[in-house]
Structure 1
């Protein structure tokens, strides 16, 4: 069910949500968080689709903030809010409200969003594109326990990564880091099996790949070695090589959903290591809303307080 509201207010949007739930016989209970997506019109469709798919695992109220550019002189002087309320099958397993803000109201998006947050529920803010320089100090980011950005969507990922390192606050995370979860799990399992000191490391990926840089920094911090950055055709991380006295530990994924794991003195094994969809990445991030200390370590390249013998 969809309800369109023109030149509206947060109060009228809340009433429309109640009206929509009553019309389809669905109560508000069961939603576990509020997801705020801050995006532009071009990326709104894909972002909403990803959030709705993730809502099958994490039922949520999704608030989509779109700041519209003025198209006429009247738009530049007239401040107003249009909304599209979706409930039922049109909103995954939760509710979706698309908020299109014009004029001065777009400068105060937090005032519009605040009355629409689910009471006593965590808030997650996701910027699919154009994330603020300091997400924690952004007016919308300040409302959230978790703030999700994506270095892959920036023009200069390396420079943006350094900026994120300077402005990091507990609760910040990035989908470039989330994409590495299968790699980190596989590396940890390989090192558990090998149980040997690591003498060198190399990460292979396309040039300026932010996930590869985070992975290299994480290995450096955890293993106390210098990780070489090796440029390949990509398009994502294609391999990790860890040198030991008895040979190399290698995870190689040049293309496709399968990787090859090689340990010294053992036959190679084929393992699943697919490139995951955005909805899968968002669903993973919503499973934990506390501070991601490992992301902070990788972002800053800092060794943890207690460094284990292996990853």
Structure 2
């Protein structure tokens, strides 16, 4: 069910939620958190779809705040148009879409405060351009977890360095979440005999792939050996992470992804294996990040310490 509330207020939206709950039987008792999504007008649906899919694992209230980017709404009359989605139109969540215009867009925190679930954790997500300092932004101040996406920024590598400089416990980024399958596979390989020390590491990927840089930083931090990473343009390779080479006394371990979704694992004295290693979509990344509401200490270490220890072969 979808209910439109043009030119409305937070109070009217709250009353409409109560009415929908009483008439339709939709309840908020099973909601475990509030997810606040900050996005640009017209760019809401992809994020809402990902949240609806993730809500089947994490029942929640979703509040979407849509504004014009970079203060473009300054000349518009102040107004908030709202839409409430429940039932089949909202997965296992309640979705409240707030489209703010003019001066109404300048107070994001005020727009959502009266709609938060009582005594439930708050997670803020910026699927597009992130604020300069997520932790001190209007929405970041009220959130236990703050999710950004460096790959969605104009300069992903520069955005990664900026995230390192402004990091606060509770911050995370989808560039890190997209590494989960790579990290698990590499850990599994090193957990098998022969248990030799890794002497050097090479990581390669696309120049606009912040995940490649974070993977190199994680390996540098965990293995404490020289790590080089090579970033190439799309014309010379696919997007995302291309591969990892681990040098040991017995030879090279190569985990490479020459085509989307399938990686090749080569190890000394063993047959070559093809492995499923898909690029993770928004739903998978969001669902994983919502599984924990405490700070991700490992991400904090990697982005604040690991990045500084890298030796780049191509910057």
What TM-score, normalized by structure 1, do the two folds share?
0.92
Q: After TM superposition, give the deviation of residue 107 of structure 1 in Å.
A: 1.1
What is aligned with 1:33?
33
Which range moves more in the overlay, 236-245 or 268-277? 268-277
What is aligned with 1:169?
168
Counterpart-to-counterpart distance in 2, 1:77 and 1:184: 48
What is aligned with 1:250?
254
What is aligned with 1:101?
100
Counterpart-to-counterpart distance in 2, 1:171 and 1:120: 18
- Contact kept, 8 Å, 1:201 with 1:227, in 2: the verdict is yes
What is aligned with 2:200?
200
What is aligned with 2:313?
none
Counterpart-to-counterpart distance in 2, 1:245 and 1:123: 48
1:226-267 superposed Cα distances (whole Å, 9 cap, x missing partner): 222223502111211010111011111111322222222222
Counterpart-to-counterpart distance in 2, 1:93 and 1:21: 14
- Secondary structure of 1:29's aligned partner: coil
What is aligned with 1:306?
none
1:134-182 superposed Cα distances (whole Å, 9 cap, x missing partner): 1000011111111000011111111111110010001100011100000
What is aligned with 1:10?
10
Counterpart-to-counterpart distance in 2, 1:42 and 1:203: 37
Give unmatched runs, 5+ long, in structure 1.
304-311
Q: After TM superposition, give the deviation of residue 127 of structure 1 in Å.
A: 0.3
Counterpart-to-counterpart distance in 2, 1:281 and 1:44: 17
* Pairing 1:2-151 to 2, within 5 Å after superposition: 2-68=2-68, 76=75, 78-151=77-150
Counterpart-to-counterpart distance in 2, 1:178 and 1:274: 13
- Secondary structure of 2:99's aligned partner: strand
- Secondary structure of 2:228's aligned partner: strand
Counterpart-to-counterpart distance in 2, 1:207 and 1:101: 36
What TM-score, normalized by structure 2, do the two folds share?
0.91
- Contact kept, 8 Å, 2:35 with 2:124, in 1: the verdict is yes
Give unmatched runs, 5+ long, in structure 2.
308-315
- Contact kept, 8 Å, 1:190 with 1:263, in 2: the verdict is no
1:109-131 superposed Cα distances (whole Å, 9 cap, x missing partner): 10110110001111110001110
1:81-137 superposed Cα distances (whole Å, 9 cap, x missing partner): 111111111111110000011122211110110110001111110001110111000
Q: After TM superposition, give the deviation of residue 69 of structure 1 in Å.
A: 7.2
Counterpart-to-counterpart distance in 2, 1:27 and 1:77: 36
Matched, 1:238 2:242: yes
Q: RMSD across aligned C-alpha pairs, in angstroms?
A: 2.0
Structure 1 residues 302 and 257, CA, compared in 2 at 3 Å: closer, same or farther? closer
What is aligned with 1:294?
298
